[in-house]
A and B are shown apart, each in its own frame.
Chain A
């Protein structure tokens, strides 16, 4: 069943168009930087971008930071929102369940395919970022990448911490995926499920900037998204990363539990 869902997802042209569009923004940013040579000053603009002109190997991280606030969550929400509601809208859900695929199995297979999609997408963003970064910008081969906290990191450390960042960003996206998937079991309209998840994210980002909402800020789903920057402090600052992981875990468990409870007891009338 998982193999079937993966085949469905990755044989669909839309999946690859989404990934291609997602990569276009960091590539555009890289080209503009190269052409104008105008990097944002340290502490301004997307994370890591200020350092990219002098070290292209940091561009994968800059690319992740560029797509993380909007593009990546949109892509994830589109695919996750489509997971159940898309089948319902297309009429294939009734045939899958009469096959019978099994409701719990179907949901689990959809979830696994979604995790694979997020991971593949994030890895492709990092790889494209690496290729673009190392082609367009200088590469410091001899040690000495400057960490956010000022000390130096070896290329091995940069590579290892980039992998950690990829894992962290992937997990951060699972919260979005869980929201969209839960909504996807509530409605027969994939667009509605996607928009619902995006509304949650936009709401969360907005509340995060509001002083009056500071009491609930630690529980907002987007609160710790950018904490992957902390992997590049020396030593790694684990506090927010761990909180971020815990928070995503809670959202994922609660929302998928709700999705399961709803989907397994639902009348399929689509």
Chain B
């Protein structure tokens, strides 16, 4: 697999007068773990639904695995596993029966291999022991795992996951993260929609940020969090260090100094040479949070008086 996995051009969706998604150009490449970030109400879910042919665009185009959506949905979607805004299952049926019904209700799931595939994905998400139990008695975390099992059932080339760790405990989150990284290593492209910055920062290779329906940022994570050309110095004698370094000090916060210079070793040599003790030196990198906050204006569900008129 190579090339573009998800491409949208000028994708727009209006609900009445509200532009939920306003002309976005997604570019997700094969092998990416693509982190799709945005505040609540920024249009993430509407976009995810348009990728899967659930919501029909007002304008613009969607291509998934090189084919147009929703037109070629029957051909493309069997190769896409999805978790859309929380899991859903028939409560009176067992986990196994739910997966079996889901597999039988569309193309691309061979009946012959169904039982084996179901057993395999249940083991993979850690539900191997409760396959026969009615979903009614499942916890939110178990339902989330079952939803993920459903997404993995046909060994998809692309996973589209909306808040996949919702409802999981820290161990569960860690487990699912390892599973996703594992799948990614074996060639699955992962499109991860989330408002949890930490989750995206740990998983994603590329990031797109949505703000009020517009893409404000789309780049490799490594580029976004590239060193700024400054070094962060941790020293107990900040005042002395400032004297030594002069106008190279860009900012200071207690024992922490930000110093111009992309070579920590060189900064260290200067300070130690002048007899200033140094506890730590690191290259300054912006966190994803700083990048996102700089790019996006604010929380989507914060509505100022007068803004709605």
Contact = CB atoms under 8 A, between A and B. Distances in A.
Contacts of B77: 98-100
Contact of B56 (A100, A101, A265): A265
A99 B82 CA distance: 8
A98 B15 CA distance: 21
Interface in A1-58: 1, 3-4, 7-8, 11-13
B86 interface: yes
A4 B88 contact: no
A233 interface: no
Interface in B204-240: none
B56 A1 contact: no
B183 to A, nearest CB: 18
Interface stretch (A88-96, A120-128, A250-258): A88-96
B56 A98 contact: no
B74 A3 contact: no
Contacts of B168: none
A204 B236 CA distance: 87
B92 A12 contact: yes
Contact of B49 (A8, A12, A13, A269): A269
A267 interface: yes
Interface stretch (B30-38, B100-108, B283-291, B293-301): B100-108
A98 B53 contact: yes
B54 interface: yes
Interface in A85-127: 90-92, 94-102
A268 interface: yes
B73 A267 contact: no
B49 A100 contact: no
B86 A91 contact: yes
A128 to B, nearest CB: 25
B49 A268 contact: yes
A92 B106 CA distance: 14
A12 B54 CA distance: 26
Interface string B60-84: 0000000000000110011010101
B226 to A, nearest CB: 36
A267 B105 contact: no
B101 A98 contact: no
A263 to B, nearest CB: 12
A269 B93 contact: no
Contacts of B43: none
A154 to B, nearest CB: 47
B92 A95 contact: no
Contacts of A96: 102, 105-106
B150 interface: yes
Contacts of A101: 105-106
A4 B104 CA distance: 7
Given A265-B56, A269-B55, 9 more contacts: A11-B92, A91-B85, A95-B84, A99-B77, A100-B77, A267-B49, A267-B56, A268-B54, A268-B55
Interface of B: 15, 49, 52-56, 73-74, 77-78, 80, 82, 84-90, 92-93, 97, 101-102, 104-107, 150
